[in-house]
Structure 1
Amino acid sequence: WGVQVFDRFTIVLHIFRCHARTKEARLQLALAELPLLRANLKKDPSQLDQQGRGSRYIMGSGETFLQERQRLLKDREARIRKALRKLAVKRRLLRGQRQRRELPTVAVVGYTNSGTRPPSLQDVIVHVRDVSHPETELQKASVLSALHGLRLPAPLLGSLVEVHNKVDLVPGYRPAEPGALAVSALLGQGLQDLRRALEAAVLKATGRRLLTLRIPLHGAQLRSGRGGAQWASGPGLAGAQLS
């Protein structure tokens, strides 16, 4: 029909390319593209001689065009993996700092990024779904399959918070799944409920407790009156509020 044909792998890579924002995401995308580049290189008839053996040599190099491009792809892969290792070291340092500060972390996953990097060192997983999409149920099944395929700890999978986004595009929408939260990031609908659900999930996952203490504040400096303090207790102090 005179139109270009793309396989599923190429389309998935294009989707990731549209959503890659961080340096690590772009490096992971470049690494994932290498098998496709190698496969296309072998299929390229311009690299082969008349017998299809790929024996066209570059003058004075002792390499065929195919061998040269395979070597360049191998060098590129080595550079990408080296850059990813450096980022991994940096991420471990930052993770150690967060752990020393005892800050909880939340991993956000969706249909286009559920299998890119294992969120195994997070406290809570938030699964954001586009409920306006006609195949939203199939997308959910794909995400859950990818998460189970990562062999994450059972408590982490049990902490999953399901968020149904774009409800503004589905009039009268009500989640059928127990505990699912209906939100509209565009209109801000349901975001306060999501905030409370995340707080509860983090407290449960980390073993912290939210305590409220009411203490009469007397004295010349504080003036007379009543106030209170609220913080999360547990392995470390998560924060405090005074009133």
Structure 2
Amino acid sequence: MTEKLIDRLPAPEIAGVVIPWFTPRDRPGPDRLSETAGLVEALGCELGFIRPEHVRQVNSSFLLSGGLLDRMADDIAETNATLAVIDAALTPVQQRNLEKRLGVKVIDRTGLILEIFGLRARTKEGRLQVELARLLYERSRLVRTWTHLERQRGGGGFLSGPGESQLEADRRMLDDKIVRLRGDLDDVKRTREVQRAGRRRSGKPVIALVGYTNSGKSTLFNRLTGSDVFAKDMPFATLDPTIRRLDLPTLGEAALIDTVGFISDLPTHLIDSFQATLEESLQADLLIHVRDRASASDMEQAEDVALVLERLEKESGLPLPPMIEAWNKMDALAPERAESLTALAAMTDDPPAAAVSALTGEGLDALLALIEKSLLRGRTEISLTLGPADGKARAWLHQNGEVLTETQREDGQTDLTIRVSTERLGQFRGEFPDLAAGVSIL
């Protein structure tokens, strides 16, 4: 009985993929083909075929012109594909027409990424954000196509217009769900702010990993923290942000955050929906941009990451934290190339960089030293003497700074040496003006 049930498990979807390009600048190279194939694999599909297609003249009904469409239909039939992926943006009409013409389900780049995010979401927050992105995407696909969608006639005379159509009802239903989800995500934002406030009070620095998807962030995260966060050579292996303790050589304990990876043409719906998660990066004391230096598209990927960060900075109103780069995957390069990049990283200062291999651990000491150096750039060492009645100020300094030395005098006063950020030092002077004059910068 069991064997029969196992035999009847559904076969995996087979996907046929076309990557349209319109100008020589858009022509996808091997890295783009590999990235799209990885997205299909991340969805759990088998790849029937994948190829770029030069669209010389856009067909408003199908995007693809007649000959390209006929070729795709033939390949779908030949490979028994059950899913067609157009790695570009499709209008709702184009998607519907393609499904009728090809006889299989059709998804575009945004739909593909949304499907993957739906599979990857593990936490309640992740599922909320994916659901919001899906609803925003679905709402943008609602189009008026049939008059028979009118649900009822309004008014009593024959001239009265149609009542609420199915289209309007669907849009209203989606709007109601979107409002509820945004409310739930506002609760998530408040919870995250409370957690961030707790980390700030502890005085421990917060460091966030950012980078293009599949650049090795989670592998580096595991290497630095000794964790076992899911890390795999596929896009969006990490979706929900993860925070772990990081022990720095001289500064001691810090918090390290692993975030969702970015990707070229990251859908607007995803950026909007995942803002609560992505803002974790902007609230950090330091960003580490993890780059896959073994990729031929490394420079383009770095530009994509910069564009997303700039958009987040603009929309959230939060300034970007200081940033350094981890040039990852040195182990995947020829020894001469790896040696050259390691030397170049040591000389690079805008932004500062360290060449590493998250897989082998090579270069991690240099990265940790760079992390500490970058954190200390925005921190100041001060000395201060407190009296017995200054317990509140002493507690504040322990919560918001790093107390390096604390010596009790016989007269009851206490000499302290503290490392504190410039921002926190300004806050201390504002909150304890009577003690501000006694602060000495070391």
Task: Report the TM-score when normalising by structure 1.
Answer: 0.70
Which of the two has higher C-alpha Rg? 2
Other-structure match for 2:149 = 54
RMSD: 3.2
Alignment of 1:94 with 2:192, yes or no, is: no
Structure with the larger strand share:
2
Q: How many residues align?
A: 206
Q: Distance in 2 between matches of 1:195 and 1:21?
A: 30
Match among 256, 280, 297 for residue 135 of structure 1:
297
**Conserved in 2, the CA contact under 8 Å of 1:131 and 1:167?**
yes
Match among 334, 339, 360 for residue 171 of structure 1:
334
Residue 64 of structure 1, CA deviation: 4.0
1:121/1:75 CA distance change after superposition, 3 Å: same
Q: Distance in 2 between matches of 1:211 and 1:103?
A: 11
Gaps in structure 1 of 5+ consecutive residues? 214-230, 237-243
Match among 416, 420, 424 for residue 234 of structure 1:
420
Alignment of 1:162 with 2:294, yes or no, is: no
Match among 185, 190, 209 for residue 84 of structure 1:
185
**Conserved in 2, the CA contact under 8 Å of 1:20 and 1:26?**
yes
1:205/1:164 CA distance change after superposition, 3 Å: same
1:165/1:201 CA distance change after superposition, 3 Å: same
1:21/1:165 CA distance change after superposition, 3 Å: farther
1:142/1:192 CA distance change after superposition, 3 Å: same
Task: Report the TM-score when normalising by structure 2.
Answer: 0.41
Q: Deviations over 1:140-187 (max 9, x none)?
A: 011122223324536x2xx21101122211122225451321212122
Gaps in structure 2 of 5+ consecutive residues? 1-71, 77-83, 87-106, 153-162, 214-260, 263-270, 383-401, 406-416, 425-442
Residue 13 of structure 1, CA deviation: 3.5
1:204/1:53 CA distance change after superposition, 3 Å: farther
Residue 17 of structure 1, CA deviation: 4.9
Residue 123 of structure 1, CA deviation: 0.8
% of aligned pairs identical? 31
Residue 103 of structure 1, CA deviation: 1.6
Residue 90 of structure 1, CA deviation: 0.9
Letter in 2 for 1:70: R
Q: Distance in 2 between matches of 1:161 and 1:153?
A: 16
Other-structure match for 2:373 = 200
Other-structure match for 1:121 = 283
Segments of 4+ in structure 1 off by > 6 A?
209-213
